[in-house]
Amino acid sequence: SSGINAEYGGLFREHEIYRIDHYLGKEMVLNLIILRFGNELLRSVWNRDKISNVVITFKEDFGTAGRAGYFDTSGIIRDVMQNHLLQILCLVAMERPVSVDASDIRDEKVKVLKFIKPIELDDVVIGQYVGNPDGKTDDARTGYKEDPGVPADSKTPTYAMAKMHIDNDRWAGVPFILKCGKALNERKAEIRIQFKDTPSDIFGNMCRRNELVIRVQPSEAVYCKMNVKSPGMSFNTVESELNLSYHDRFEGLDLPDAYERLILDFILGSQTNFVRTDELAEAWRIFTPLLHKLDAGQKEPVQ
């Protein structure tokens, strides 16, 4: 990465470079800044005093789908976690920017990354999928090592979960958990912010933790899990949801593809949703020591 950046730096200035991470062009990822800084209800509770943990999840319900040759040289951490999920983390955790100008937003994202220490082996779980004999499709029945192009002794992770901490005043002590994998039970990308327990619960400990969930894909939505009275004569609590489903709320909605949006941004000269050089360097600082240890076989994937 640093070598490529050095080559680019000799040919282009920073304002001429547009590094695409297509997740930055997704509707619900773009929505994070407005959700956070346009709603006082959320802005006032977005901190370690109210939030217990943040989980950012990426799941695919298929395997390498013809990309085994590429994937085996990279693995799920390089393919998804170090870029897509870390970019989402930055938008969830960053401080309020001075403005929505590209430089102001990207400055705040870099500040967040600087507060994250390199990930340790003990903070990571890795796995590699095997075939399901009862699977309904050939893809489901095919394990990762059975895919043409994958070496029989491959240790490349197809699943990873990592715990990270942001050591600043807002987030100290709050775990950020990133999870991603292939050949799982469903296709889904979401951000789940879980709030702390209700103090001094007067309802017999029946109240569950509130959660704010931002579903990135599929079926874009924002919903909040809350405790309400169960219908009828009882006075028990039950968990329900305040649900904003984009396709239900906005009729005739036709969301642009992430790449469409980013290519338009490029044509318009807007760099807000592109990755800056120092941002990329900080991302690799966090993950490179871990990746070197995994490449050296210091931790084997669970199967």
Which residue numbers are catalytic?
A: 84
Question: If we measure between CA atoms, which residue out of 125, 126, 127, 129 comes closest to residue 64?
Answer: 129
Measure Cα distances from 161 to 52, 80, 289, 301 in Å. 18, 11, 16, 11
| Helical packing angle, 102-114 and 86-93, nearest 10° | 100
